[in-house]
Structure 1
Amino acid sequence: MTRHLKRSSVIAAALMLGSAAPAFSQTPVEPDLSEVVRSAEAQLHQSFANLQFEDFAPSPVHGPLFQASAGGRILYYAPESDHLLFATIYDKNGVNLTALSQDAAARARFKDLDQSQALLIGPQGAPLVIEFTDPDCPYCRALDRFWAAKAAEGRPVRRQIYFVSGIHPEAASKAEHILCAKDREAAFRATYAGEPPKPLIRCPYGAAQVQAHAQAVKSMGISGTPTLILDGQVISGFSQAEIEAWLARQRPPAQPPP
């Protein structure tokens, strides 16, 4: 009896070990790449049903993506494949997540801007525009004409202007000329209309302000002109549709009592 029990126990143990052995020796099965691609493509069409896609294939980017900021722009880095992406990320509702991150970073840097160093143009109480501009930038000049047209329509803005002087060779001297003038707004208008006087005015105050503006440009990570900050939203270039949309959300400046 005892011998039978012992033999049964040995057989049971052997069966248990035999059934467990494959769990220890089994190697992970790699998923079928074609099935992964089909599943991902199906999810893409489901999440972004309003878009038409002509092609779908694996990306050269592998592994997790990390977000970084350089020169005021949001970038993405994939360390596994060592790729840097200059990209815009949208969620399935069409929200531009990259723009939201960029705007949040710009708002965080607002504290570095000293309004007392800026050139202020426009009536107090009007919607505030933070503007990084270059006297020799054709799109900056077009933007100045746009603001003048809006003011003529009764929709003026208050422009907090910083000069970007590292792109065009004469930008710094023209910015200094404007900042040294007795009537800065008039000098600004004439310069942006392409009619600055010769020789350009120079003064220690203007030169110091140009350097202060250059520091503000660096701290904000501005790399192109014009760049606008409208209620925390960063607009790169003269994007008239975005500016018009922002203006439509503004209330007219309060009128002084009679």
Structure 2
Amino acid sequence: MSPGYAQNSSESTVLANTAAQAERDLRQSFTNLQFEDFGPAPIKGPIYQASAGGRIIYFAPESEHLLFASVFDKNGVNLTALAQEAGTAERLKMIDPAQALPIGPQSAPTVIEFTDPDCPYCRALDRYWAAKSAEGKPVRRLIYFVSGIHPEAAAKAEHILCSSDKETAFKAVYAGSAPAVLRTCPEGRARVEEHSKLVTSAGVSGTPTLILGGKLISGFQQAEIEAFLSSARTADATR
């Protein structure tokens, strides 16, 4: 047997033993799951945690893999969700409700909403909120405008904020109305700039972005919104 062959054989044995031990550890730590197979993953080296747009992601630089996943400990605790909640709590500290455009009754569940007048999903979300309100399930929306994605977003946001009836102007623009002349005013422009700074500091990168009951939701995720509304109604009923 050549030295090279003996070394390769020894390494293979070590790797096989390591894999076997890892499989045993997996089955012992997560006894509530049934595993059909077990084998090596393409990921190599250490894995790091990062946050992007309020979402926790994992990066393995050695194999250049990006993982969009949830990490659980052996007790079933979702560590990824805990990290996201901590990040959202930090964002909430940056948000000044006085800077928002409020829409909806004060007694309704509060939704923090980062939105763009030219975002089609934001407009769909506005229609959704209107439908919920018609069902007798309104929300109190604290609106912050994201103006760095579409070229006319800042001007339309300023138009809304410079209107005497801001809620009516908001609904008109989000319904697709294109005013012949967009209103301008120093106060509206300053508020758009304040919103822009908040968007940057809070790391909001897409629209719509919602904060519901301390949870950050990226995009128009109807199932998650419905779950929030259901929990909010349950909380009101038990008071």
TM tier, smaller: 0.7 to 0.9
1:119 paired residue number: 101
Q: Does 1:87 align with 2:68?
A: yes
Q: What is the identity, as a one-letter code, of the residue corresponding to 2:153?
A: A
| Cα shift readout 1:63-88 (whole Å, capped 9, x = no counterpart) | 3x333334433333456x37463422
How far did residue 213 of structure 1 move? Answer: 0.4
Match of 1:154 in 2: 136
Q: Calculate the TM-score normalised by the size of structure 1.
A: 0.77
The residue aligned with 1:9 is: none
Q: Which has the larger radius of gyration?
A: 1
Moved more, 131-140 or 85-94: 85-94
**Candidates 44, 49, 55, aligned match of 1:61:** 44
CA deviation string 1:31-84 (max 9, x = no partner): 711222233345446628657666632433213x333334433333456x3746
Work out the CA distance in 1 between the residues paired with 2:203 and 2:212: 16
- 1:190 Cα offset (Å): 0.7
- AA partner of residue 170 (structure 1): E
Deviation per residue, 1:116-164 (Å, 9 max, x gap):
1110000011111000011111111111111111111111110011011
From 76, 90, 93, give the equivalent of 2:58: 76
The amino acid across from 1:66 in the alignment is Y
Separation in structure 2 between the aligned mates of residue 210 and residue 85 of structure 1, nearest angstrom: 34
Structure 2 residue aligned with 1:212: 194
Amino acid aligned to 1:140:
C
Distance in 2 between residues matched to 1:58 and 1:239, nearest whole Å:
31
Q: What residue identity is the alignment partner of 1:153?
A: E
Indicate whether 1:221 and 2:217 are aligned.
no
Q: Secondary structure at the match of 1:250?
A: helix
Q: Which moved more, 1:181-190 or 1:196-205?
A: 196-205
Q: How does 1:226-245 map to 2 (within 5 A)?
A: 226-245=208-227
SS at match of 1:154: coil
The percentage of aligned residue pairs carrying the same residue is 57
Which whole-Å CA distance do the structure 1 matches of 2:27 and 2:132 have between them?
43
Per-residue CA shift, 1:93-127, capped at 9, x if unaligned?
Answer: 66543232122111122121111111000001111
Q: Does 1:107 align with 2:93?
A: no
Q: Could you say what secondary structure the match of 2:232 adopts? A: coil
TM (norm. structure 2) is 0.82
Partner of 1:36: 18
Q: Which amino acid aligns with 2:69?
A: T
The match for 1:12 is none
Aligned counterpart for 1:138 among listed residues 113, 117, 120: 120
Q: Secondary structure at the match of 2:178?
A: coil
Q: Tell me the amino acid that sits aligned with residue 202 of structure 1.
A: T
Which consecutive residues of structure 2, in runs of 5 or more, have no partner in the other structure?
1-9
Contact 2:49 2:59 in 1 (8 A): yes
Unaligned runs of 5+ in 1: 1-28
The residue that corresponds to 2:6 in the other structure is: none
Equivalence for 1:196? 178
What secondary structure, in the 3-state scheme, does the structure 2 residue paired with 1:125 have? coil
Q: 1:162 to 1:48 in 2, by over 3 A?
A: farther
Q: Which secondary structure does the structure 2 equivalent of 1:224 belong to?
A: coil
CA distance in 2, matches of 1:253, 1:37: 48
> In 1, distance between residues paired with 2:204 and 2:80?
16
Distance (whole Å) between structure 2 residues aligned to residue 122 and residue 191 of structure 1: 17
